[in-house]
């Protein structure tokens, strides 16, 4: 905390006491770097200054504002929680640890952070920075991504907490990890903790914290049909428990492997979308390069096949086929009003069609 007095890390939410704003910042910063999350925080505060504003917003709009941040379940949970607070709790944010922890999308870390920062409740936060500082300083070799570590580090963090100033203590140790005891090249030479730091004294700084081998990521292969029907295309909102819930996507064919010759994909897609026969005159406009996006447990490879559908074909004809599950939308509106998975956004941004129709 002494170190922190001369190493402040200014952020718009620092010193904030409004639990809504703290909660918003913590949800945005889950699995997101501060630099990336910052503009989103400002955008959300401007669009939804109170929890009631967020609760009243349509979900599509919230997801659209979230676009680019990834892990969309955070945005969905956040929106559901705002509705719950506005509707069931008369707009009052819970003010106990248990009440905060019971909110959807709020785990131990976020609950402790809100409890300490908004209400000065004596709860120690445990984020990646805190794990690193504690593992190094005390020389703890337990893998930090295990339930055993969570128990061990939580107990230790609780004993270290300054219960008179929990908010200031939590902020100090997190900033110390983020700015000083960094993952790579920590500033040990000028460290105020050096004298008692086990990792430093035993030459284990770069070996700590220990992590068990990350789970292998599963590959998935997506072929998308980007139809051009005049100024329109077809999209659907993803449902179910799979990735990208509630985001919009083009007609999709998921494949066990991506064919070596992607030239076969438009034919496969047309058969998939029009099992009763493709509209006569359908023409392949182009096949994209493969795009890759890495998610927590998966690597997605997607190829986009652009296909012109003859304008005179009636919409009703399409709807007899698989496209009945999809909605027809103007190209120009796609990017403006719908939240798209990042991989589709990348493809779409590279398309001159956006510029042409804007």
- Catalytic amino acids? 26
- Rounded distance between C-alpha atoms, residue 226 and residue 348, angstroms: 10
Nearest residue (CB) to ligand SF4, 184 versus 213: 184
Residue 149 CA from chain centroid, whole number: 24
* Helix, strand, coil % in the chain, rounded to nearest 5: 45, 15, 40
Nearest residue (CB) to ligand SF4, 198 versus 329: 198
Minimal distance in Å, beta carbon 158 to ligand SF4?
A: 19
Minimal distance in Å, beta carbon 138 to ligand SF4?
A: 10
Nearest residue (CB) to ligand SF4, 168 versus 191: 191
Count the neighbouring beta carbons within 10 Å of the beta carbon of residue 265.
22
Q: Which residues contact 255 (CB under 8 A, 6 or more apart)?
A: 221, 222, 223, 268
Smallest Cα–Cα separation from 13: which of 54, 52, 45, 36? 45
- Rounded distance between C-alpha atoms, residue 73 and residue 59, angstroms: 12
Residue 322 CA from chain centroid, whole number: 31
Q: Which residues of 106-116 are buried (b: 16+ CB within 10 A; e: fewer)?
A: beebbbbbbbb
Nearest residue (CB) to ligand SF4, 135 versus 339: 135
Minimal distance in Å, beta carbon 201 to ligand SF4?
A: 9
Nearest residue (CB) to ligand SF4, 118 versus 199: 199
Minimal distance in Å, beta carbon 181 to ligand SF4?
A: 3
- Rounded distance between C-alpha atoms, residue 194 and residue 211, angstroms: 23
CA quadruple 36, 37, 41, 43: dihedral sign: positive
Minimal distance in Å, beta carbon 194 to ligand SF4?
A: 4
How far apart, in Å, are the Cα atoms of 280 and each of 225, 229, 273? 17, 13, 14
Minimal distance in Å, beta carbon 6 to ligand SF4?
A: 16
Q: Which residues of 124-142 are buried (b: 16+ CB within 10 A; e: fewer)?
A: bbbbebbbbbbbbbbebeb
Annotate 97-126 with three-state secondary structure: HHHHHCCCCCCHHHHHHHHHHHHCCCCCCC
- Rounded distance between C-alpha atoms, residue 102 and residue 111, angstroms: 9
Dig out the tokens for 179 from the structure: 């700015």
Minimal distance in Å, beta carbon 171 to ligand SF4?
A: 17
Binding interface with ligand SF4 (CB under 6 A): 133, 136-137, 180-181, 186-188, 191, 193-194, 197, 199-200, 205
């Amino acid at each position: 905390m002494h170190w922190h007095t001369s190493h402040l890390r200014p952020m718009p939410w620092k010193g904030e006491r409004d639990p809504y704003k703290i909660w918003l910042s913590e949800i945005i910063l889950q699995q997101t770097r501060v630099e990336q999350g910052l503009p989103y925080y400002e955008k959300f505060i401007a669009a939804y200054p109170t929890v009631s504003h967020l609760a009243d917003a349509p979900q599509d709009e919230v997801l659209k504002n979230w676009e680019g941040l990834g892990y969309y379940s955070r945005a969905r949970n956040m929106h559901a929680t705002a509705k719950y607070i506005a509707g069931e709790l008369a707009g009052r944010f819970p003010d106990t640890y248990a009440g905060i922890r019971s909110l959807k999308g709020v785990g131990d870390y976020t609950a402790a952070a809100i409890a300490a920062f908004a209400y000065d409740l004596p709860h120690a936060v445990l984020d990646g920075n805190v794990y690193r500082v504690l593992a190094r300083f005390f020389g703890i070799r337990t893998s930090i991504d295990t339930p055993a570590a969570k128990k061990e580090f939580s107990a230790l963090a609780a004993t270290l907490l300054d219960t008179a100033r929990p908010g200031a203590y939590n902020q100090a140790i997190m900033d110390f990890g983020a700015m000083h005891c960094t993952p790579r090249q920590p500033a040990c030479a000028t460290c105020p903790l050096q004298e008692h730091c086990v990792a430093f004294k035993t030459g284990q700084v770069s070996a700590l914290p220990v992590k068990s081998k990350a789970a292998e990521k599963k590959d998935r292969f997506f072929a998308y049909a980007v139809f051009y029907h005049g100024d329109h295309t077809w999209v659907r909102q993803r449902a179910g428990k799979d990735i990208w819930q509630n985001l919009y996507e083009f007609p999709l064919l998921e494949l066990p492997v991506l064919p070596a010759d992607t030239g076969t994909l438009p034919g496969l897609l047309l058969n998939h979308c029009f099992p009763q026969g493709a509209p006569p005159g359908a023409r392949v406009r182009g096949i994209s390069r493969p795009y890759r996006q890495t998610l927590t447990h998966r690597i997605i490879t997607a190829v986009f096949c652009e296909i012109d559908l003859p304008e005179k074909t009636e919409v009703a004809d399409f709807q007899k086929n698989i496209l009945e599950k999809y909605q027809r939308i103007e190209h120009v509106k796609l990017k403006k009003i719908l939240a798209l998975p990042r991989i589709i956004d990348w493809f779409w941004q590279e398309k001159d069609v956006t510029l042409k129709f804007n």
